[in-house]
Chain A
Amino acid sequence: MAPKPGWFDKPGNLRLFLRAFYMVLGGLLVADLFVLKHPHFPWEHAPDFSAAYGFISCVVLVLVARGLRRIVKRREDYYDS
C-alpha cells in the first residue's frame, strides 16, 4: 500500500516547521540575556550557557555512542549461537 501523504509530506510544511523552530531558538538566545538569574555556579552567569551546554552535550552523546557501538554491537542472534 502506498503511504498516504501526511502533514510533513506537503511541500513547504517541513520548511515552515524548521523555520518556526529556528525562530524559537533565536528567541531563547535573546531572552536569556534579559532574565534575572539566580545561579548556583559561576558558569551559569555566562550568557546562553544552557544553550551551549545542551548542544555540546548532545553532540558528545552521539559521538561517544558511535564509538561505543564499535565495541558493543553484535548480531541479533549473538546470544542464541
Chain B
Amino acid sequence: MIPDIPPGILLICGAFLTPFLRGGARKAWLLILPLTALAVVIAAPEGTRWTVDFLGQKLILFHMDRLSRVFGIIFTLITAIGFLFALRVEDTLQHTAALVYAGSALGVTFAGDFFSLYVYWEFMAISSTFLVLARRTPEARAAAFRYILVHLAGGLVLLAGIVLLFSQTGSLAVRHIGLNGSASWLLFLGIAVNAAIPPLHPWLKDAYPQATATGAVFLSAFTTKSAVYLMARTFSGTELLIWLGAIMTFVPIFYAVLENDIRSVLSYSLINQVGFMMCGVGIGTQLAINGTVAHAFCHILYKALLFMAAGSVLHVTGRIRCTDLGGLYKTMPITCLFCIVGAASISAFPFFSGFISKSMIVSAAGYGHLAVVWLMLQFASAGVFHHAGIKVPYFMFFSHDRGIDAKEPPLNMLLAMGIAAFVCVAVGVYPKPLYAILPYPVDYVPYTATHVVSQLQLLLFGALAFALLMLSGVYPPEIRAINLDVDWFYRKGARAADKALSTVLNKANKMADGLFFQFIPGCAARFSSNAPSRLVGIPLACFFWLMGCRGQYLEFRMDSMRKSIEKESLPVGWAAAAIALMLVFLYIWN
C-alpha cells in the first residue's frame, strides 16, 4: 500500500529525522525516502488533494496531472541516484539540506496554489545554499552568500507578482498566466532568475562550481528544472521566451569554450540546455511542450551524470581544472566511460537520450517556420558537442597525461553513475516509455535516416573542426584565468558602490561634524562669553564719548570696562547707569 502523501512533505519531514540516524540506518533511510517518494508519484491518481484552508484561502498541497508527474518522477529518481552517489559522505548538513532541497522542488512541482509554491520556492533557495556552504572554503562561503542574495531577491520579485496577481484576480491557483500586465511580468522575472535566463544567469556559474563534489549533482537538477516546470505551466506559448531561449542556448557556449574549471564548463552548458527548454516553452505547441518536458527529463540525468563524473575526479584527485587534469582514462576507465555516455547524451548523439528529446524542440521550431531560431539552435547543438561533448571528457581523461595518482571512486559512486548512464542509453535507444508519460500524446519519430545522418554530420564535422583547430593551435589554450560575466556588475559594482557611498557619506559626516560640533558650538561659546561686554560696550562707548573721552584714553576706559564685565566685577554705579540707559532706550523705543 503506497501512502498518498505529497512527496515534498515526505522528503522534508524525512530530512529532519536524518540527523538522528547513524551508519547503515542513515544510508538506508537516504535511499528509501526518495524511492518511496518515486512510488508515491507513480501511484498517485490525477487530481487535487491535501487542500488546507489558510487565512480564508484554499492551499493545495498535492496537485497531480501529466505535467507534474513527469517532473515528479525525474526529481525523485535523481534524488535517489544523487544519494547513492553521496552515500559515503559523512556530513549531516549536506544530507539534510539535499533532502529539504529535493523535497522543496517536489513541493513546487505539486503545489496547486501560488502561496504554498512560494514557501517551497524559498525553502529551495535556502536549502540549496547549504550545499555550496558545505564545501567549507572561503570561496564557497562567498559564492554561497552571493547565491542566496540573488535568490532571495528573485523570490521577493516572485512574491510581489503573486501578491499583485491575487489582488487583481482574487485567485491563487497555479495556472496559465501569459505575459499581460505588471503582475505577470513580476512572476516571469521571478521564475526567470531561477531558470538562469541571461542576463540573470551568473549566479549559476558562480555557485555550482564551488559546491561540494556531491552537492553539485543535486544543484544541477532542481533549481533550474523546477523553473522550467513552472514556466511551462504559467507561460507556455510566450513568444519572448522563444528568443530568450535561443539566446540562452547561444551565449553560454562561448564562455564554455574558455572556462578552465570543468564544473564551470558544465554550468555554462547547463544554461545552454535550459535555453532549449525555454525555447520549447515559448513555442508552446504540443510537440514543443512534449520536447521541453522530455528534454528536462533527459537533461537532469545526463547533467547529473556529468557532474557525478566531474565530482568523482574532484573526490579522487582533488583537482577540477583543465590545466591540472589529463590522462585519467588509464586510471579511471569506468568513470571515463560514464562521462563519455553523459557527453554523448548531452550532445544528442543518436541512441543517447538527448537525441530523442532535443530533436523534438528543434523540429517544433522547424514546424513553426522559425528559420533564425532553428539556425541558432543547430549552431548551439554543434557547440554543445564541442564544449561539453568533447572538451569535458578530453581535458579530464585524455589530453596531456599529468601522471596523476588516481583510482576509480568507491563502488556507490560508480553504481550511481552506472544507473544514470544506463537510463541515458535506455531512453535514447527505446524512447517509448518516456514518450508515453509526456503531457500530450506523442506523434514523433526521432529515428529517421535523414535525421540520424544530418545529426551525425552536424556533430562529427564539429568534432573535425575541434581536432583541426587543436592541431593548428588556433583553439584557445586552457589557462588559469577567470572570465568576466554579468556578475561583474554586482561583484565589482557592489564594491564600487560601497566605496562611493563610504567616500560620500564619510565626507558628509566630516562636514557635519565640522559644522555642528566644531564651528557652531565654538561660535555659540564665544558669543556667550563676549556678548555681554560687546552689548554693554556700545552704549558705554557712546556714553564715554559724550563724557569727552577720546583716542587712547577712550580705548583704555573701554578695555578696563570689558575686563571688569568678563570678570563679573563691574562697579555698581556703572551697572546701574547701564541699566538706566537701557531703560531710557527701551522707553524711547516704545
Q: What is the chain B residue whose CB lies nearest that of A8?
A: B398
A interface size (C-beta, 8 A): 51
In this assembly, does B567 line the interface, its C-beta being within 8 Å of a C-beta of chain A?
Answer: no
In this assembly, does B369 line the interface, its C-beta being within 8 Å of a C-beta of chain A?
Answer: yes
A55-B327 contact, Cβ under 8 Å, with A37-B450, A69-B258:
no
Q: What is the chain B residue whose CB lies nearest that of A58?
A: B465
Q: What is the chain B residue whose CB lies nearest that of A1?
A: B403
A79-B469 contact, Cβ under 8 Å, with A35-B450, A61-B254:
no
Chain A interface helix/strand/loop/mixed: helix
B463 cross-chain contacts in A, Cβ below 8 A: 21
In whole angstroms, how far apart are the Cα atoms of A76 and B481 in the complex? 5
Q: Is the CB of B366 within 8 A of A40?
A: yes
Q: Is the CB of A54 within 8 A of B476?
A: no
Q: What is the chain A residue whose CB lies nearest that of B485?
A: A72
In this assembly, does B449 line the interface, its C-beta being within 8 Å of a C-beta of chain A?
Answer: yes
B402 cross-chain contacts in A, Cβ below 8 A: 3
In whole angstroms, how far apart are the Cα atoms of A55 and B401 in the complex? 28
Q: Out of A32, A41, A68, which one reaches B371, CB within 8 Å?
A: A41
Q: Interface-forming stretch among B303-311, B374-382, B555-563?
A: B374-382
A63 cross-chain contacts in B, Cβ below 8 A: 474
Q: Is the CB of A75 within 8 A of B460?
A: no
Q: Is the CB of B483 within 8 A of A50?
A: no
In this assembly, does B440 line the interface, its C-beta being within 8 Å of a C-beta of chain A?
Answer: no
Within 8 A of A (CB), among B470-488: 474-476, 479-485
A48 cross-chain contacts in B, Cβ below 8 A: 457
In this assembly, does B456 line the interface, its C-beta being within 8 Å of a C-beta of chain A?
Answer: yes
A12 cross-chain contacts in B, Cβ below 8 A: none
Task: Name, among B448, B460, B492, the residue most crowded by chain A CB atoms within 10 Å (CB to CB).
Answer: B460
A41-B386 contact, Cβ under 8 Å, with A35-B450, A57-B462:
no
Q: Is the CB of B481 within 8 A of A50?
A: no
Q: What is the chain A residue whose CB lies nearest that of B454?
A: A50
Binary interface encoding of chain B residues 371-393 relative to chain A, with 1 for a CB under 8 A from any of its CBs, else 0: 10010001100110010000000
B383 cross-chain contacts in A, Cβ below 8 A: 57-58, 61
In this assembly, does A51 line the interface, its C-beta being within 8 Å of a C-beta of chain B?
Answer: yes
Q: Is the CB of A49 within 8 A of B483?
A: no
A51-B458 contact, Cβ under 8 Å, with A38-B450, A57-B382, A62-B465:
yes
Within 8 A of A (CB), among B46-87: none
Within 8 A of B (CB), among A24-69: 24-25, 28-29, 31-32, 35-38, 40-41, 44, 48-55, 57-66, 68-69
In whole angstroms, how far apart are the Cα atoms of A61 and B485 in the complex? 17
26 sampled A-B residue pairs with Cβ under 8 A: A3-B401, A8-B329, A21-B464, A35-B450, A40-B369, A40-B374, A57-B383, A58-B386, A58-B466, A58-B469, A59-B469, A61-B379, A62-B469, A62-B474, A62-B476, A65-B258, A65-B476, A66-B476, A68-B255, A68-B258, A71-B484, A73-B258, A73-B479, A73-B484, A74-B481, A79-B492
Listed in ascending order, the chain B residues whose CB lies under 8 Å from chain A are 253-255, 257-258, 327, 329-330, 363, 366-367, 369, 371, 374, 378-379, 382-383, 386, 398, 401-403, 405, 448-450, 453-467, 469, 474-476, 479-485, 491-492
Listed in ascending order, the chain A residues whose CB lies under 8 Å from chain B are 1-4, 6-9, 18, 21, 24-25, 28-29, 31-32, 35-38, 40-41, 44, 48-55, 57-66, 68-69, 71-76, 78-79
